[in-house]
Structure 1
Amino acid sequence: MSASGTAAKPKRISALISDVDGTLVTHDKVLTDRTRQAVQALQARGLGFAIVSARPPEGMRMFVEPLKLASPIAGFNGGAYVKPDLTLIEDRTLDPEVARRTLGLLETQGVDAWLFSEGRWFVRNPNGPKIAREEHTVQFAPTVVPEFGTALDKAHKLVGVSEDYDLLARCEAEAQAMLGAAASAARSQPYYLDVTHPEANKGTAVRRLARLMGVPLEEVAVIGDGRNDIAMFAQCPFSIAMGNASDEVKAKARYVTASNEEDGLAQAIERYLLSAGAESAA
C-alpha cells in the first residue's frame, strides 16, 4: 500500500535498488524463492536491479548467482563498489585520524568495535556480541587481533556493536556531533553503529549506482527497512519501506509493502513494477 493507504500509479521506472538485510532476505538471512523469482521477472522485463548494504562486498557474493546480478554492488553503504565478480570499481576509506577518534569514542562508551579493512573483518573480542550472527550473515569468519593497529589506516568501516540499544543510540548522536562532515555515522540495525567515509552513505550510494547503471535518478525505485535507508528515500521519489521498518522509516517512504517475513520485496515488485498499470523500461 502507499503511505496514505492507497496505491498510486508509478511513473516510468527503469531500475530498482534494494537494501539487503531486513529487505532482500528474511530475519534468518534466507533469500526466498518468491523474492528470487520476482527479481528475475523484473530483469526479464528490462529493468535493472542492484543491491546496496552496510555489508562488505564479500558478504553479498551469495546473491550474485541466484539473482543473476549484472549491475554493480555497493558495499559498506557505498564505501566500495564492485562488479558482480567482486572486482573493485572504486572505494572510499575513512581518514586514519577519523578512524582512530571513532575507535576512541567506542572504547570510552564500553562498546565493542569491529573493523573492516582491505577485505578483512577484524575483531578484538572473539566472544563479543553478534559475532556469530554476523559470521552467519556474511559467510566468512573474522580475524581476531589484539589491536587494530595499521589496519585503521585503510578502514572501510568501523562498527560499534552493543546489545544496549539506548547506549548505541547515544553513541550514534555523539559520533555524529564529534565527526560532523568527516564521516557518516548511522545505525544499520539497533545493535550496529556503522561509521564510514562521509560519502559512504545510502543517499550518495543510490546516486552513484544510478550513474554506473546508466539510469536517470528520477527513474530509480528504492526499497529498504532501516534508518540508514532514509537517505536513499530522500534521493528517489519512488521509495518503498518494508512492513518490518519502524514508523519513522515508513513515514519517509512513498509506499509501504509487507514485511521481509512475508516476501515484502517480491510483493512490491509484483504490485508496483510488474503490474499492468506500471510503466517500466520495457
Structure 2
Amino acid sequence: MPYSHAPRPTTSDPVTGPLDIRLIVTDMDGTLLDDDKKVPRDLWETLARLRERGVLFTPASGRQYATLAEEFSEVADGMVFIAENGTYVVRDGEELSSDPLEPAVVARVTRIVRDLTAGGAEVGAVVCGKRSAYVERDDEAFLAEVGRYYVRHRVVEDVTAVDDDILKVALFDFGSAAHTTAPALAPLAGTHQVVVSGEHWVDVMNRTANKGAALRALQRELGITPAQTMVFGDYLNDLEMLDAADWSFAMANAHPDVVGRARHLAPSNNDNGVLRTVTRLLHL
C-alpha cells in the first residue's frame, strides 16, 4: 500500500559512469512485483544483460524456495535465492545456509494461533519447512492466500507433527496483522523475531535469521562488498537487508521505516522501480 513520509532519501544519485555492482538483491512483493503480483515485462532481458556483465541477481523474499524457483525457472541456473525471509538460501538446488526453528517454538506459536482462532480471530498459520509448507486450515479463502506464496503446501491434521526442518511460522490475518496477530505473539519477541512482513502477514523466526544476515553471509562467500551490492525493499522484513548494501533503495510505495533506513529512493513497484533504477545506474 502507498505511504506518505518526509523527509525522503535522495532520488538523484551522483553517478557519472557505470557502478561496480556485482550483486543485486530485491524483495519481491511490493518491490519487484507490481500490485497484481506480476514481474516487469522487461525482466528477462534485463537479467540476461546482467548475467553478461557478471552481476548476480538474487530474489530475497518471505516466499518459499519452491515458489521463487518456479517464478525464475527459465533463468534459475546459477541464481541464488534468499527464501523464507533469509532462513533458507539455495543455489542450483543446493542449500547454502539455513536457520531452522526448534520444534518447541513451532508448537508454542501453533498454540497461540489455535487460541486466537478459538476466540474468533480470522487467522491461520503456515508452518514453513524446507520441503513444503504445512497448514491446518483448509478453507478456500485461506488456501488461496497461502497458494500465492507457497506453491508447495499440504493440509495436515497437526502441523507440529510433520517431519521436516521448519524455517519459520508465517501467520496470515484476514484483518490487520499489526493490530491483532503481532500483539498475541509479543511473549515470543524477547527470544525470537516477530516480524510484520505485510499488511496481513507476521513471521516468527529465530533471532539470528533475517534477510540481512543471509545477504551478509552470501557476500562473504562470494567476496562481494557492500559497496558492490544494490538492494531494493519496501517493508519491515527488508530493513536489515538494506543495511548490508551501500546502494540501498526504498521503493516510493515503501513503509516509512524502510524509507528512513534506505540511502536512496526508487520509483514505486507499479512504476517498474527496480529495473528502471538498475538500468539507469548500471547504464544497461
Identify whether the pair has TM-score above 0.5, normalized to the shorter chain: yes
Name the stretch that deviates more: 9-18 or 111-120.
9-18
Structural mapping, 1:113-192, within 5 Å: 113-127=125-139, 129-140=141-152, 142-151=153-162, 154-165=165-176, 167-173=177-183, 175=185, 177-180=186-189, 182-192=191-201
Question: Conserved in 1, the CA contact under 8 Å of 2:131 and 2:164?
Answer: no
1:230 to 229, 239, 242: 239
| Unaligned ranges ≥5, structure 1 | 276-282
* Cα distance in 1 between the residues matched to 2:264 and 2:183: 28
Secondary structure at 1:157 match in 2: strand
* Cα distance in 2 between the residues matched to 1:87 and 1:180: 31
Deviation sequence 1:213-265 (CA, Å, 0-9, x none): 33123321111111111111122221011222123322221111122222111
Residue matched to 1:208? 217
* Cα distance in 2 between the residues matched to 1:240 and 1:17: 10
Residue matched to 1:112? 124
| Unaligned ranges ≥5, structure 2 | 1-7, 118-122
Question: Conserved in 1, the CA contact under 8 Å of 2:57 and 2:80?
Answer: no
Structural mapping, 1:1-282, within 5 Å: 3-9=9-15, 12-84=20-92, 86-110=93-117, 111-127=123-139, 129-140=141-152, 142-151=153-162, 154-165=165-176, 167-173=177-183, 175=185, 177-180=186-189, 182-274=191-283
Question: Percent of aligned positions with the same letter in both sequences?
Answer: 23
* Cα distance in 2 between the residues matched to 1:98 and 1:153: 14
Which aligned runs of 4 or more in structure 1 are off by greater than 6 angstroms? none
Give the alignment's TM-score, normalised by structure 1. Answer: 0.85
Question: Conserved in 2, the CA contact under 8 Å of 1:39 and 1:269?
Answer: no
Q: Are residues 104 and 153 of structure 1, via their aligned partners in 2, closer, same or farther at CA, if it must alter by over 3 Å?
A: farther
Q: Are residues 115 and 190 of structure 1, via their aligned partners in 2, closer, same or farther at CA, if it must alter by over 3 Å?
A: same
Give the alignment's TM-score, normalised by structure 2. Answer: 0.84
AA aligned to 1:221 is M
Residue matched to 1:279? none
